[in-house]
Copies of this chain bind each other. A is one copy, B any other.
Amino acid sequence: MIHEHRLAPSTKLGEDEIGEIYKVSRTVVRAALQSLAHVQLVEIQRNKGAFVASPTPREAREVFEARALLEPRTARSAASRVTPRDIEILKDHIAQEHLALDAGDNGRAINLSGRFHIEIARIADQDTISQFIETLIARSSLVIALYWRRESALCESHAHHALVQSIADGDEQNAEELMRSHLVDLNSALDLRDRPVRAQNLRELLQATDQ
């Protein structure tokens, strides 16, 4: 519902403001903001209001540490449960990623990359863990927006392609290992040394968390 904002971290999200945009009352706006706050996409300060979250370097690190803990095992599970239909879906995802990259649409590429990871979690058929991963990937969008070092080549869908191959083969060990190293690569494309000054140009990125 609220999910169409494309806003820079720390942006104030006034209740009246949003309500007017979407033609709903503050009641529903507040509910949506609280929901987003729970997955830490927005931060609510009592009597102050809601702001787009701006993860600290530490929070950013934790997000990727958590992903490193959950996703490799999930990829392994996916490899053991995957169906031909799932493989189709994954390959389609990758094709779309290629299209986005060729079109130079980085925001969409990151969005699709996130969905790819979520899709793998879905295949693993572990709802509880999948939910955790979904929130982590949503937060990852913010982290990438803030800490991505542009010189680094993010979203090389090469890694995704290899991952799909090992999952299709049912090679659990390889899938787990590929996911692990993929996450390490992602992490090393970030510069987590200190709080970012740049905070703009997130517009393209927040759509990565929208449906």
Contact = CB atoms under 8 A, between A and B. Distances in A.
Contacts of A38: 35, 38
A59 B128 CA distance: 8
Contacts of A126: 62, 65-66
Interface string A138-160: 00000000000000000000000
B127 A69 contact: no
A69 B63 contact: no
A129 B35 contact: no
- Contact residues on A (Cβ < 8 Å of other chain), bracket: 20 to 34
21 contacts: A27-B27, A30-B31, A31-B34, A34-B34, A35-B38, A59-B127, A59-B128, A62-B126, A62-B127, A62-B129, A63-B128, A65-B128, A65-B129, A66-B129, A66-B132, A69-B69, A69-B73, A69-B129, A70-B70, A128-B136, A132-B132
Given A62-B126, A69-B73, A70-B70, 12 more contacts: A31-B31, A34-B34, A38-B38, A59-B127, A59-B128, A62-B127, A62-B128, A65-B126, A66-B126, A66-B128, A69-B69, A69-B70
Interface of A: 27, 30-31, 34-35, 38, 59, 62-63, 65-66, 69-70, 73, 126-129, 132, 136
The 6 tightest CB contacts between A and B, nearest first, are A62-B128, A38-B38, A66-B128, A66-B129, A132-B132, A62-B126
